[in-house]
A = this chain, B = another copy of it.
Amino acid sequence: MLTSQRKDLILDMLRREGQIIAKRAAEQFSLSEDTIRRDLRDLAAEGLLRRVHGGALPASPELPDFTARRSVSSDVKARLGVQAAGLIRPGQTVFLDGGTSTAAIAQALPRDFAFTVATHSPTIAGELEHHPTAEVILIGGRLYKHSMVATGAAAIEQIARMRPDLFFLGVTAAHPARGLSTGDFEEAAIKRHIAACSAETVTLLTADKLDAASPHAIMSASALSCMIVQDGIPEERLTPYRALGVTVIEA
């Protein structure tokens, strides 16, 4: 077996089992532990795993946490959520993105008429457990734990079969020229896909997200129907968005 082949297998094993034990790997390949240790050292140098006494563990321990962000759920977001929920009409189908802003919408959803909510976030779905009139469609797929949304081909496929009237999009940044963006490539792709399937897209923005940009672009700001921003933002920061044809609502 080629050395590089063996290294691939080691990484494979690490992905499968979440750990490498040098001794066991040596047995498995019928090689000395020395060789395995050398492999592990090389792979660790490339940043592909983390070396620990006795073997190795996956490189990226965890992305910074979602719960931490969730607890920051503020008064501002609640107000934005109420405003957003007000856009929904009886009988419509709305798609809720994952994230704290859209969770605020879920909590504010109208309880006096029926409509359908689709979401790829189990967290959002859970919020709706006790909602009396909302029909909930859960989109499945490989769960991306960082932001707790279903992703991948399966999710894309299920979304493609829908035509939501409204999509409430969560973003980490919005910029008149650089568009809407988020921190993760895969997330950006799925958000773009949902927006493409939806009749209208609406996003909620706190002041810190306005006129900022994150690594992965979702789409142009002009593709939005409406953005709901927090109250008290100077008018001149909003006009560029209005110029793009976006309805800006202050809450």
The stretch of A50-58, A199-207, A222-230 that contacts the partner chain: A50-58
Cα–Cα, bound, A112→B58 (Å): 12
Which of these, B62, B120, B136, B155, contacts A145 with CB under 8 Å? B136
Q: How big is chain A's contact interface, by range?
A: 35 or more
The stretch of A122-130, A164-172, A179-187 that contacts the partner chain: A122-130
- B57 in contact with A4 (CB, 8 Å): yes
Instruction: Indicate whether A54 sits within 8 Å of B15 (C-beta atoms), given known contacts A67-B130, A122-B122, A142-B135.
Output: no
- A19 in contact with B158 (CB, 8 Å): no
Cα–Cα, bound, A128→B90 (Å): 34
Chain B: CB-nearest residue to A155: B140
Which of these, B2, B55, B57, B71, contacts A52 with CB under 8 Å? B2
Cα–Cα, bound, A143→B18 (Å): 27
> Within the oligomer, what is the number of copies of this chain?
2
Chain B: CB-nearest residue to A114: B18
| A135: chain B residues within 8 A (beta carbon) | 142-143
- A154 in contact with B158 (CB, 8 Å): yes
CB of A56 to closest CB in B, whole Å: 9
Cα–Cα, bound, A9→B21 (Å): 17
Which of these, B21, B122, B140, B158, contacts A2 with CB under 8 Å? B21
Cα–Cα, bound, A8→B251 (Å): 41
Q: Which of A118-175 contact B (CB under 8 A)?
A: 120, 122-123, 125-126, 128-133, 135-143, 145, 148, 150, 154-155, 158
- A137 in contact with B143 (CB, 8 Å): yes
Residues of A within 8 A of B (CB): 2-5, 8, 15-19, 21, 52-55, 57, 61-63, 65-67, 71, 90-91, 112-114, 120, 122-123, 125-126, 128-133, 135-143, 145, 148, 150, 154-155, 158
